[in-house]
Amino acid sequence: MALADLLQQDAIIPALKVNSKKQLLTELAAKAAKVTGLPEREIFDVVVQRERLGSTGVGNGIAIPHGKLQSITSIVGVFARLDQPVDFEALDDQPVDLAFLLLAPEGAGADHLKALSRIARVLRDHELVTKLRATDSASAIYAFLNEEQASNAA
Protein backbone atom coordinates (compact mmCIF):
# COMPACT_ATOMS: atom_id res chain seq x y z
CA MET A 1 0.00 0.00 0.00
CA ALA A 2 1.53 3.28 -1.15
CA LEU A 3 1.16 6.52 0.77
CA ALA A 4 0.25 8.17 -2.54
CA ASP A 5 -2.92 6.05 -2.44
CA LEU A 6 -3.85 7.59 0.92
CA LEU A 7 -2.58 11.15 0.70
CA GLN A 8 -3.24 13.85 -1.88
CA GLN A 9 -1.10 16.97 -2.04
CA ASP A 10 -4.08 19.14 -1.02
CA ALA A 11 -4.31 17.08 2.19
CA ILE A 12 -0.96 18.38 3.47
CA ILE A 13 -0.68 21.19 5.99
CA PRO A 14 2.98 22.25 5.73
CA ALA A 15 3.30 24.75 8.61
CA LEU A 16 0.43 24.36 11.05
CA LYS A 17 0.28 26.73 14.01
CA VAL A 18 -1.44 25.08 17.00
CA ASN A 19 -0.95 25.21 20.76
CA SER A 20 -2.46 21.92 21.94
CA LYS A 21 -3.34 18.35 21.04
CA LYS A 22 -7.04 19.28 20.85
CA GLN A 23 -6.31 22.19 18.52
CA LEU A 24 -4.14 19.91 16.34
CA LEU A 25 -6.92 17.31 16.10
CA THR A 26 -9.44 20.07 15.31
CA GLU A 27 -7.29 21.39 12.44
CA LEU A 28 -6.66 17.87 11.08
CA ALA A 29 -10.42 17.19 11.18
CA ALA A 30 -11.11 20.49 9.39
CA LYS A 31 -8.65 19.62 6.60
CA ALA A 32 -10.04 16.07 6.37
CA ALA A 33 -13.55 17.50 6.07
CA LYS A 34 -12.44 19.62 3.11
CA VAL A 35 -10.76 16.64 1.44
CA THR A 36 -13.60 14.14 2.04
CA GLY A 37 -16.69 16.34 2.13
CA LEU A 38 -17.68 14.77 5.45
CA PRO A 39 -18.74 16.81 8.50
CA GLU A 40 -15.76 18.13 10.45
CA ARG A 41 -17.45 17.36 13.79
CA GLU A 42 -18.01 13.71 12.84
CA ILE A 43 -14.32 13.31 11.96
CA PHE A 44 -13.16 15.10 15.12
CA ASP A 45 -15.43 13.01 17.36
CA VAL A 46 -14.19 9.71 15.89
CA VAL A 47 -10.53 10.72 16.28
CA VAL A 48 -11.00 11.99 19.85
CA GLN A 49 -12.88 8.82 20.75
CA ARG A 50 -9.88 6.79 19.52
CA GLU A 51 -7.45 9.00 21.47
CA ARG A 52 -9.36 8.20 24.68
CA LEU A 53 -8.27 4.57 24.27
CA GLY A 54 -4.64 5.66 24.31
CA SER A 55 -2.50 8.29 22.66
CA THR A 56 -1.62 7.79 19.01
CA GLY A 57 1.60 9.70 19.66
CA VAL A 58 3.99 6.92 18.61
CA GLY A 59 7.24 8.60 19.66
CA ASN A 60 10.03 10.62 18.04
CA GLY A 61 7.69 13.62 17.65
CA ILE A 62 5.22 11.69 15.49
CA ALA A 63 1.49 11.06 15.94
CA ILE A 64 -0.79 8.91 13.80
CA PRO A 65 -4.32 9.74 14.93
CA HIS A 66 -6.89 7.57 13.21
CA GLY A 67 -10.49 6.45 13.17
CA LYS A 68 -13.17 4.62 11.23
CA LEU A 69 -16.23 6.28 9.77
CA GLN A 70 -19.36 4.73 8.28
CA SER A 71 -19.75 7.56 5.80
CA ILE A 72 -16.30 7.36 4.17
CA THR A 73 -15.77 5.18 1.10
CA SER A 74 -11.97 4.89 0.96
CA ILE A 75 -8.97 5.25 3.23
CA VAL A 76 -7.86 8.89 3.37
CA GLY A 77 -4.88 10.59 4.99
CA VAL A 78 -4.05 14.13 6.08
CA PHE A 79 -0.49 15.11 6.96
CA ALA A 80 0.55 18.09 9.08
CA ARG A 81 3.95 19.51 9.93
CA LEU A 82 3.67 21.77 12.96
CA ASP A 83 5.53 25.06 13.32
CA GLN A 84 6.03 24.28 17.01
CA PRO A 85 5.71 20.87 18.71
CA VAL A 86 2.76 20.28 21.06
CA ASP A 87 2.26 17.89 23.95
CA PHE A 88 0.40 14.86 22.60
CA GLU A 89 0.73 12.50 25.58
CA ALA A 90 2.99 10.43 23.32
CA LEU A 91 4.41 7.06 24.37
CA ASP A 92 7.88 8.59 24.83
CA ASP A 93 6.53 11.84 26.41
CA GLN A 94 8.10 13.85 23.57
CA PRO A 95 6.07 16.65 21.98
CA VAL A 96 4.69 16.03 18.48
CA ASP A 97 5.54 18.06 15.37
CA LEU A 98 4.51 15.61 12.63
CA ALA A 99 0.98 14.17 12.45
CA PHE A 100 -0.56 11.81 9.92
CA LEU A 101 -4.34 11.51 10.31
CA LEU A 102 -5.78 8.33 8.83
CA LEU A 103 -9.50 7.81 8.23
CA ALA A 104 -10.94 4.51 7.04
CA PRO A 105 -14.37 3.05 6.26
CA GLU A 106 -15.97 1.01 9.08
CA GLY A 107 -15.44 -2.22 7.15
CA ALA A 108 -11.83 -1.55 6.09
CA GLY A 109 -10.44 -4.13 8.55
CA ALA A 110 -7.05 -5.35 7.37
CA ASP A 111 -6.62 -2.49 4.89
CA HIS A 112 -6.87 0.02 7.74
CA LEU A 113 -4.20 -1.88 9.69
CA LYS A 114 -1.98 -2.16 6.60
CA ALA A 115 -2.26 1.59 6.04
CA LEU A 116 -1.39 2.34 9.69
CA SER A 117 1.56 -0.03 9.50
CA ARG A 118 2.78 1.55 6.27
CA ILE A 119 2.60 5.06 7.72
CA ALA A 120 4.45 3.97 10.87
CA ARG A 121 7.14 2.25 8.79
CA VAL A 122 7.64 5.27 6.52
CA LEU A 123 7.83 7.67 9.47
CA ARG A 124 10.48 5.53 11.19
CA ASP A 125 12.92 6.55 8.43
CA HIS A 126 15.07 9.15 10.23
CA GLU A 127 16.41 10.66 6.99
CA LEU A 128 12.88 11.17 5.65
CA VAL A 129 11.64 12.62 8.95
CA THR A 130 14.58 15.07 8.95
CA LYS A 131 13.60 16.20 5.42
CA LEU A 132 9.94 16.57 6.44
CA ARG A 133 10.89 18.71 9.44
CA ALA A 134 13.19 20.91 7.30
CA THR A 135 10.57 22.14 4.82
CA ASP A 136 7.33 24.08 4.97
CA SER A 137 6.36 23.34 1.38
CA ALA A 138 3.36 21.06 0.77
CA SER A 139 4.73 20.01 -2.62
CA ALA A 140 8.13 19.12 -1.10
CA ILE A 141 6.48 17.13 1.71
CA TYR A 142 4.33 15.29 -0.84
CA ALA A 143 7.41 14.57 -2.98
CA PHE A 144 9.43 13.33 0.03
CA LEU A 145 6.65 10.97 1.11
CA ASN A 146 6.26 9.62 -2.43
CA GLU A 147 10.02 9.49 -3.07
CA GLU A 148 10.31 7.29 0.02
CA GLN A 149 7.66 5.03 -1.52
CA ALA A 150 9.66 4.60 -4.69
CA SER A 151 12.88 3.73 -2.85
CA ASN A 152 11.06 1.15 -0.71
CA ALA A 153 9.39 -0.43 -3.73
CA ALA A 154 12.70 -1.12 -5.42
Instruction: Supply the residues annotated as catalytic.
Output: 66
Dihedral angle at the C-alpha atoms of 41, 120, 114, 108, nearest 10 degrees? -10
- Sign for the CA dihedral angle at 151, 152, 153, 154 comes to positive
SS3 128: helix
Amino acid present at 26 = T
| DSSP letter, residue 60 | T
Cα distance between residue 41 and residue 4, in whole Å: 26
Nearest in space to 82 (alpha carbons), one of 144, 9, 20, 11: 20
Q: For residue 16, count other CB atoms closer than 10 A to its CB.
A: 21
